[in-house]
Structure 1
Amino acid sequence: MRTMKYAVRYLSGGLCLLMLLVMQAHAQTVDDAWRFSQRLPGVGARLTAMSGASAAGLADYGALFSNPAGLGYYRASEVSGGLTWLNARDAATYHVPGNRFDWESELRATNLDHLVAVYKVPTVRGSLVLGMAYARVADFTRRLYFQGDNDANSITDSYLPYPDEYTVTSDGELQFNSDIPFIAYQAGAIEFLPSEYEAGRYPFYQAVAPGTTIRQTGEVTEEGGLHELSFGGAIEAAPNLFLGLSVGIVTGSYRFERRYEEDDFRNENTPDLYAVAVEGGFLYGFDYLLAQDYFESDLQGFSVRAGLSAQLSPSWRLGVGVETPVFFSVQEDYGTELETFFDEGGSLRYGGQPGDAGTGSFDYEIRTPWRLRAGVAYQTRQLHVGLDLELVDWSQMRFDASTNRSFIQDLNRQVRDTMEPVVNTRLGLAYQMGGTTLYGGVAVFPDPHKSEIREAEADRRRVFGSLGASIQLAESFRLNIGWTQEQFDDYYQPYGDVERPPYVREEVRRNRFVIGLTYTFQPPRARATRPPRRR
């Protein structure tokens, strides 16, 4: 059975990198860079409720994050602030060979959503508006839970090393050239038999005996988000033609935690099936395994946006905008711990301490793609309807680092081979009824992974639906409420490198509520300079 397992591992070498990333919990993957580069459809209560449709030009501070030319439509100055509340639900189906198990989990978070100041500069003619805004532009909060009984394979199968991942010296000392089998060996999840090596056979075997049934349980938690401090302004360069520019400083954090367990709940792995040699004796019989991984990334970056908006007629507006890549600097800490418990003799544990394999830090950089955005809007005294199209070529995303150059080059090849351009769509509307304005919208962000990946795993297209309202509380105060629900599918594999590995299909729904208060005021009027009278 171990010989067959070795052949399967040898033929499935392409999954080695996947297992490395799962086990060591590094964030240097294409999907993690894609995650860091994604944005919410809109910021603040109003644009959240309109699914971010604002590229044509809209008098909302959210224009700083889409098309800053929209600031030019402001008729008064304002300050605003608000909070956001998020509820993320994950419906998971855990697939093991011959069976499936359904689970549901959720995670909540409350954060500061925005702080804003917009100033309409007094002018004799035309418009000049300056703005500064802090806003939450991305949210990573979600939680996955799964559990199932598996009699086909175990994570300990995937720890068995390849021939080039270990050597045995002339004096019989075992040495590993890869972190994964080294960690597993130190923690007792795999064992080495010198007699098998001397006989010319594969010398390792796994803790969970083939054919026995184990209960597998996993929990993956993701937390954090991105914040942007944006400065910008808009000027009326010609009658009904506005130009805008903004500069954004992006900061944020992302934390990934995984807890994975295997339990011999039927006690089928009896002491005679597995033994580990330790100083002073042996440990017998697999009972329970606990693997814990984490990585935490701190991100800092900046970008520039520019745009124009033209009032073509009293009813029609047209706008275009461009955003440079965000140049992210990422500082990352990561760690791995593994512990194996036995029926007789106690347990073995390894990892989590400074200097241990699978634990450390790494600095690298991500350059996100350019974004090109165009929009059109139709409006009357009561109704506003906006449509945005945004082109993002995800194959242009890039990694960089001062070390591990070959690894970084391989990641950039993966980006080119697996990602493609998409067009994001946003549609929003507003309807005014006296002192109350009602909002609604929908946005669709296609999955940028190529079709073969979508077919093999999941179509990760993000679909947003939104509603909201703005209520006049007093002459200068408005209460703004926005809600959006995000839906997408996802795919997770707790381990690979085995025949028929288990996997999880996810249906994720995230409901986000934003509530804000806006104070509006009129700046002093500018006075025209008149020539002196002749006497």
Structure 2
Amino acid sequence: MKRFYYIFILIMISGSLSAQSIDDALRFSKHNYSGTARSLSMGGAFGALGGDFSSLSINPAGIAVYRSSEFTFTPSLELVKSSNSGETNDKYSFTIGNIGYVASMVPRLAPEKGVQNFNFAIGYNRVANFNREGFVMTMESPSSRLDYWSQKAQGRNPDLDPGDPNGLYEFEERLAYDVYLLSPDESLRYFTPFYENDVMDQMQYIDEKGYIGEYIIAGGFNVSHKFYLGASIGIQDVYYKSNTTYIETIYGLDGNIIPNESALEEFTFREFLKTSGAGVNFKIGAILRPVKNLRLGIAIHTPTYYNLDERYESFMSSQFTPDMNNQLEFPEDGNAYHDKYSEFVARSNFDLETPFRAILSGAYLLGKRAIISVDYEMIDYSNNEFDDNDYRDLNQRISESYSSTHNLRIGGELRVNPNFSLRGGYAKIGDPYKGSIDESYEAYSGGLGFKQNNFFFDLGYQFREYDEDYVFYPESDIVTLNNKNHQVRMTFGFRF
């Protein structure tokens, strides 16, 4: 998967103090249906099967398939290995993938035809995980991020109050000015401390944390073991935090760390972004059993209506050689190191509406020995929308950047004996971008299940690999971060 990150560019285009971007819309609308180990190992293809708590996040009609009450608990271990230019970062995270309770109410004198049982469920499925660390670099670049900031600063007065439209953007260009990385002349033309022959190494460290967890209340009923209907309310808890550290180290033509011409050795730019909030959605679904061994499912998910709080702040520092042999003016103390935090923290509250999605499913039971299941999901990411008139331009970019996506999930299960099962799965997740950007990926999974009396234990593993392409600033080189995601889940369950 290749993905261009335009967060930096979009913030600068919008001129806003907040950091909302088209990436926010995509990040909070992409889901991975793998709450339980059984679902993970079968590729998340549970829309027509039901009888598993993960299915309630896919097709809530799955609750009506239960014939007994059940409690499940799923701890999860995830490893993301991110590598670039020989540097590898490992990010481990231990999470709760699922915890759920299903109550099945079977009438004492159930009729042969008609409603056979009413079921109710409450619980939690984790539907997205943002934990990751990465390091990307490009060597001996002929351009600098300071060149971009210098262009943005032209004609702007550094003496105006922060936030003034004619002043410097306080979270970036203003910080660069304060640490002597930008210097204006009398005409407010801004210069950098570089000379023509300077080149630089550029590095960025990314540290991301967070999740989307869905709290579910669901209900459904079974009609004659032929038709299953269910509905759910999902309350999604969102937490996302990112810290990025960008460093440029300046080199002369001979490759020495201390440059021959410019007195600047290096500068560092750090950004912090934290987003948290909650959203609500409604899902309704049905499963039809036209013949004994075939199940067909359909589910509709309304948009998730989020209300989110965001906080953004930045920091910048610079390091010069002690002789100060350059065109900038420095304070009388002659200090070669300078640092500056942004004096203001940008805080914002916004509403985000994710797209509708539809899921069509089919499953075939090969007697009591095997199951084959397929889910097909459709979602149009161009329908993501920030619900405020202030975001009209951003919503237009969302419409222009994203497209409809088609996701395919396939799973199989083989019952070796009444107590032991083997499972496998595959998922093909489509590309949400228009044009040349490609964010599609494939996932492979497998697992096993064991049950004895009223207790069962499931173990699942999933692997996926994808590439992400980063652009540090306009006209910079593209650098690629390779990610390998390994996930293991264990579900402990009790039926009663």
Q: What TM-score results when the alignment is normalised by the length of structure 2? A: 0.87
Contact 2:153–2:168 (CA under 8 A) maintained in structure 1? no
Cα deviation, 1:105-128, whole Å, max 9, x if unaligned, reads 221111122111111102132121
Asked if 1:44 is matched to 2:36, the reply is yes
Q: Report the residue type matching 2:274 in the other structure.
A: E
- C-alpha displacement of 1:193: 2.6
Aligned in 2, Cα 1:488/1:299: closer, same or farther, shift over 3 Å? farther
Cα deviation, 1:136-165, whole Å, max 9, x if unaligned, reads 111011222023422411222121044765
Aligned to 1:508: 483
- C-alpha displacement of 1:27: 4.1
Contact 1:212–1:268 (CA under 8 A) maintained in structure 2? no
- C-alpha displacement of 1:17: 3.5
Query: What is the distance in 1 between the residues matched to 2:338 and 2:72?
Result: 56
Q: Which moved more, 1:116-125 or 1:300-309?
A: 116-125
Cα deviation, 1:231-288, whole Å, max 9, x if unaligned, reads 1121124551111011111102001110111223624535xx55xxxxxxxxxx2122
- C-alpha displacement of 1:507: 2.4
Q: Report the residue type matching 1:73 in the other structure.
A: V
- 2:150 match: secondary structure: coil
Asked if 1:287 is matched to 2:270, the reply is no
Cα deviation, 1:298-348, whole Å, max 9, x if unaligned, reads 020011110010111111111101010001111011111011111123222
Aligned to 2:279: 301
Contact 1:19–1:495 (CA under 8 A) maintained in structure 2? no
Aligned in 2, Cα 1:439/1:73: closer, same or farther, shift over 3 Å? same
Contact 1:151–1:211 (CA under 8 A) maintained in structure 2? no
Match of 1:252 among 238, 257, 263: 238
Aligned in 2, Cα 1:71/1:502: closer, same or farther, shift over 3 Å? same
Cα deviation, 1:387-421, whole Å, max 9, x if unaligned, reads 111110111110124xxx44x11110001111111
Aligned to 1:468: 447
Cα deviation, 1:447-506, whole Å, max 9, x if unaligned, reads 110024x1xxxx21131111111112x31111111111122222111222x4xx122122
Asked if 1:324 is matched to 2:302, the reply is yes
Q: Report the residue type matching 1:186 in the other structure.
A: D
Query: What is the distance in 1 between the residues matched to 2:360 and 2:34?
Result: 15
Query: What is the distance in 2 between the residues matched to 1:329 and 1:54?
Result: 29
Contact 2:138–2:477 (CA under 8 A) maintained in structure 1? no
Aligned to 1:138: 128
Aligned to 1:282: none
Match of 1:178 among 169, 174, 178: 169
Contact 1:398–1:412 (CA under 8 A) maintained in structure 2? yes
Contact 2:9–2:473 (CA under 8 A) maintained in structure 1? no
Aligned in 2, Cα 1:372/1:348: closer, same or farther, shift over 3 Å? same
% identity of equivalent residues? 20
Match of 2:25 among 25, 29, 33: 33
- C-alpha displacement of 1:23: 11
Alignment of 1:452-491 (within 5 A): 452=436, 454=437, 459-472=438-451, 474-491=452-469
Query: What is the distance in 2 between the residues matched to 1:207 and 1:364?
Result: 39
Query: What is the distance in 2 between the residues matched to 1:75 and 1:264?
Result: 68
Aligned in 2, Cα 1:165/1:79: closer, same or farther, shift over 3 Å? farther
Bigger Rg over Cα: 1
Contact 2:129–2:212 (CA under 8 A) maintained in structure 1? yes
- Following TM superposition, the consecutive aligned residue runs of length 4 or more in structure 1 with deviations greater than 6 angstroms are 21-25
Query: What is the distance in 2 between the residues matched to 1:15 and 1:64?
Result: 34
Q: Report the residue type matching 1:153 in the other structure.
A: S
Query: What is the distance in 2 between the residues matched to 1:149 and 1:41?
Result: 40
Alignment of 1:113-512 (within 5 A): 113-123=97-107, 124-125=109-110, 126-162=116-152, 166-167=156-157, 176-179=167-170, 180-194=172-186, 197=187, 203-264=189-250, 266-267=256-257, 269-270=259-260, 285-344=263-322, 345-353=335-343, 355=344, 359-379=345-365, 380-401=367-388, 405-406=389-390, 408-434=391-417, 435-452=419-436, 454=437, 459-472=438-451, 474-496=452-474, 498=475, 501-512=476-487
Contact 1:25–1:295 (CA under 8 A) maintained in structure 2? no
Contact 2:93–2:131 (CA under 8 A) maintained in structure 1? yes
Higher helix share: 1
Q: Which moved more, 1:185-194 or 1:19-28?
A: 19-28
Aligned in 2, Cα 1:41/1:311: closer, same or farther, shift over 3 Å? same
Aligned to 2:96: 112
- 1:153 match: secondary structure: coil
Q: Report the residue type matching 1:134 in the other structure.
A: Y
Contact 2:33–2:58 (CA under 8 A) maintained in structure 1? no
Structure 1: 5+ residue stretches without partners: 1-13, 93-100, 170-174, 275-284, 522-535
Q: What TM-score results when the alignment is normalised by the length of structure 1? A: 0.81
Alignment of 1:74-93 (within 5 A): 74-92=66-84
Query: What is the distance in 1 between the residues matched to 2:175 and 2:158?
Result: 17
Contact 1:149–1:215 (CA under 8 A) maintained in structure 2? yes
Contact 1:156–1:208 (CA under 8 A) maintained in structure 2? no
Query: What is the distance in 1 between the residues matched to 2:14 and 2:445?
Result: 35
Q: Report the residue type matching 1:312 in the other structure.
A: P
Contact 1:58–1:73 (CA under 8 A) maintained in structure 2? yes
Q: Report the residue type matching 1:332 in the other structure.
A: E
- CA-based RMSD of the aligned residues comes to 2.4
Q: Which moved more, 1:213-222 or 1:304-313?
A: 213-222
- C-alpha displacement of 1:16: 8.1
- C-alpha displacement of 1:55: 1.3
Q: Which moved more, 1:140-149 or 1:321-330?
A: 140-149
Q: Report the residue type matching 1:450 in the other structure.
A: K
Query: What is the distance in 2 between the residues matched to 1:15 and 1:87?
Result: 25
Aligned to 1:528: none
Cα deviation, 1:57-104, whole Å, max 9, x if unaligned, reads 321111210111112221221111121111001233xxxxxxxx4433
- 1:448 match: secondary structure: coil
Contact 1:127–1:235 (CA under 8 A) maintained in structure 2? yes
Q: Report the residue type matching 1:140 in the other structure.
A: F
Aligned in 2, Cα 1:177/1:422: closer, same or farther, shift over 3 Å? same
Contact 2:158–2:168 (CA under 8 A) maintained in structure 1? no
Alignment of 1:510-529 (within 5 A): 510-521=485-496
Aligned in 2, Cα 1:214/1:162: closer, same or farther, shift over 3 Å? closer
